[in-house]
Amino acid sequence: MVRSKENLVGAYAFLIGVVLAVVIGLFSEPLQSSGGWIYSVLVIIGLIVGFMNVGDKNSMTFLAASLSLVVVGALGSDPLKYIALNNYAVKALSSILTSLLVMFVPATIIVALKTVFSMAKI
C-alpha cells in the first residue's frame, strides 16, 4: 500500500499533538506562566490534523471518535476540577483532557466542514 506524503504529515502531526497534549497536561502548573503560545501550538497542530489527516472514507470514523472525546473532555473536566483539589493524578487527568480538547476541537471543526461540503457536491 502506497501512502501519500500528505497523510504521513497528518499522521505525524496527530501523534505529536497527542503526545504534546499529554505532556502539557502532566506539567500544566509550570506551563500556565508561559502564556498561551503552547496552547496555540496545539491549535495549529489540530488544524494540520483536520486538513491533512482525514480522507473521505475515514471522516465519519474520525468525527465519531473526536465527538466522543470532545463531549467527554468538555463534560468530564468540570467535575474533575472539584475532585482534584489535593489529588495530583486527578488534576493531571483534567489538564490532559483540556489539552486534548484544545487540539481536537479545531480538527473536528475542519473535518466536519470538509464532510459537509463533500456531501453537498452534486
65-80 pLDDT per residue, tens: 888 888 887 787 677 7
Domain that holds residue 98: 5-119
- Residue linked to cell 470538509: 114
Q: How much is the pLDDT for 56?
A: 67
Contact 49, 69 (CB under 8 A): no
Share of the chain above pLDDT 90, in %: 2
Radius of gyration of the CA atoms of the chain, in A: 16
| Backbone φ and ψ of 58, nearest 5° | -100, 0
Asked whether the predicted pLDDT for residue 109 surpasses 50, the reply is: yes
Written as nine digits, the cell of 85 is: 483539589
20-24, 47-51, 90-94: lowest mean pLDDT where? 90-94
Cα distances (Å, whole numbers) of residue 40 to 10, 45, 47? 17, 9, 11
Q: HSE, CB side, 13 Å, CA atoms: give it for residue 74.
A: 10
Contact 46, 105 (CB under 8 A): yes
Angle between helices 88-119 and 5-26 (to 10 degrees): 150
- Tell me which range, 30-39, 54-63, 104-113, is most confidently predicted by mean pLDDT: 104-113
Q: How much is the pLDDT for 1?
A: 42
Q: Could you report the per-residue pLDDT of 77-103, keeping only the tens digit for each?
A: 677 767 767 777 777 787 888 888 888
Domain count of the chain? 1
Written as nine digits, the cell of 94 is: 483534567
